A = this chain, B = another copy of it.
Amino acid sequence: MKVLGADIVTDDMANIYATFKGSEDLPRIAVGSHCDSVVQGGNYDGILGVISAMEVAETIVTKKIPHRHPITVMIWTNEEGARFDPAMMSSGVITGKFDKNKMLASKDKDGITFGEALDASGYKGDEKNRMNPKEYMAFVELHIEQGPVLEAAKMDIGVVEGVVGMVNYEFEFIGQAGHAGTVPQRMRKDALYAASEAIQYLHRELDKLDSKLVYTTGRIICSPNVHTIIPDDVKFTLDARHQDPKIVQQVVDVIENIPKELAKCKVSYRKLWSRKTVAFNEDLVDLVEKNAKEYGYSCMRMYSGPGHDAQFVADILPTTMIFVPSIGGHSHCEIEKTSLDNCWKGANVLLKTILDIDKK
C-alpha cells in the first residue's frame, strides 16, 4: 500500500488505515475486514476481505480509475476474540459499544492483558486516527459466507442485508447422583436423560417456527460424568438466530415455556447473551445486488448468521457486506476454502460497489 502512495496510520486499538487520496476533499470510503483468526482456523475468513480491499485499491491506483472520495483500506483488530474476549473488540470500542479500559484489561489464558499485548505489538496508534463518522461516508466488507447456503443454491455472491439477531441460553438439569448398579430405574432422577428430553423438546417446538431459524445445542457439561454414576447435573447451551425479531421472541417464548421438571429433574435456564438484528444500508445492499447482476454473477439476498465488525460500524456509517461461498460450508477450520473464481468475483463486485459509492 505504501509503494502505491497510501497514507498509513493506526488508531489507539491498533486498527490499521491505509488511505488513498481522492480528487476532491470529501469523506472517505472505507473497505476492509480483519486478519486475525480462530484457533485452528482457515486461510479465508477475514483475510479475503483485507486482501480484496487491497486489490481493489491497487486496481484503482494502478489503472488510474478516477475517484472523488479518498479510499481507506482497513484492518480491524481482534475480530474473533480468540485470544482476548470479546469478539469484534476494536470495532466495538470505536463505535462506542465497549468500554476501552475494560477491553485493555481483558486477559488471555496466560494472564497477559490486551493492553500489554497492544503495547508490545508496535501497532498502537493515536485515538485521533479512529474511524470518525464525520470523515467517512461508507464501509463495505467482503467476507466468506462461513456456511453452506450459497454453495447449495449454486450462487456466486451473497448480497448481505444484515446480521441476524440471536439469543444464547444455558439450560441446567438437576437430578440425583447414584450408583449405576443399585438405583432402580423408577427411582432415578437422571439429569442426562432429562437433558436429552429437553433437546428433543426444543427441536420439536423450534422446528415449528420458521425454516430460516437456526439453533444449536453446541456445548454440554455432564457431572460427575463417570460411567458408573447417574448424572446429577447437566447443562447445555442453546444458540438461536433469526433476522426477524418476532421469530427470535418466539424462540424465547419456547425457552421460557420449557417444563419446570423433566424426567423428575429440576429444569432451569438463564440467558447468557443476545444481540439484536442489524440491517445494513438499503442503498448499499441494492448496489451490491445490481453489480453482481451486471457482472452476470448469480446472487441471492441473505442475512449473516455470524457476527462481523460491519454490524457495529453499521450503527455509525452506511455499511454493507458481500459474501462469497465457502466450499462445503466449512469455516473456522483448516479445510475452510473459497474457489479462486469466487474470490475474484467477490473482489470484482467489491470494486464496482466502491466506485458506485464514489459517484454519490
List chain A positions with a Cβ less than 8 A from chain B: 145-149, 152, 164, 166, 168, 177-187, 190, 192-193, 195-197, 199-200, 203, 207, 211-220, 222, 225-231, 236-237, 239, 241, 272, 304-307, 329-333
Contacts and interface: CB of A to CB of B under 8 A. Distances in A.
Contacts of A239: 180-181, 227-228
A227 to B, nearest CB: 4
Contact of A178 (B197, B231, B329): B329
Contact of A182 (B185, B197, B305): B305
B227 A218 contact: yes
22 contacts: A145-B182, A146-B179, A147-B178, A147-B183, A178-B330, A179-B305, A180-B216, A180-B239, A180-B305, A181-B214, A181-B304, A184-B214, A185-B207, A185-B213, A193-B217, A197-B200, A217-B231, A218-B230, A219-B225, A219-B227, A227-B237, A227-B272
A325 B170 CA distance: 37
Contacts of A330: 178
Q: Which 9 A-B pairs have the closest CB atoms?
A: A147-B182, A181-B305, A180-B216, A227-B237, A196-B196, A196-B199, A182-B305, A180-B239, A218-B227
Contacts of A222: 219-220
Nearest to A197: B200
A183 B329 contact: yes
B225 A306 contact: no
A231 B221 CA distance: 13
Given A196-B199, A222-B219, A225-B219, A183 B148 contact: yes
A328 B330 CA distance: 50
A307 to B, nearest CB: 8
A40 to B, nearest CB: 9
A219 B190 CA distance: 12
Nearest to A227: B237
B177 A333 contact: yes
A237 B152 CA distance: 36
A214 B329 contact: no
Given A196-B199, A219-B226, 11 more contacts: A164-B181, A168-B227, A179-B306, A180-B239, A180-B305, A182-B329, A185-B214, A192-B218, A196-B196, A200-B200, A216-B228
Contact of A218 (B217, B225, B237, B333): B225
Contacts of A332: 179, 229
A179 B147 contact: yes
Contacts of A307: 181
Given A146-B182, A222-B220, A203 B214 contact: no
Given A196-B196, A197-B200, A148 B230 contact: no
A330 B186 CA distance: 16
A85 B211 CA distance: 51
Given A186-B211, A193-B199, A199-B193, A179 B218 contact: no
Contacts of A192: 199, 217-218, 220, 236
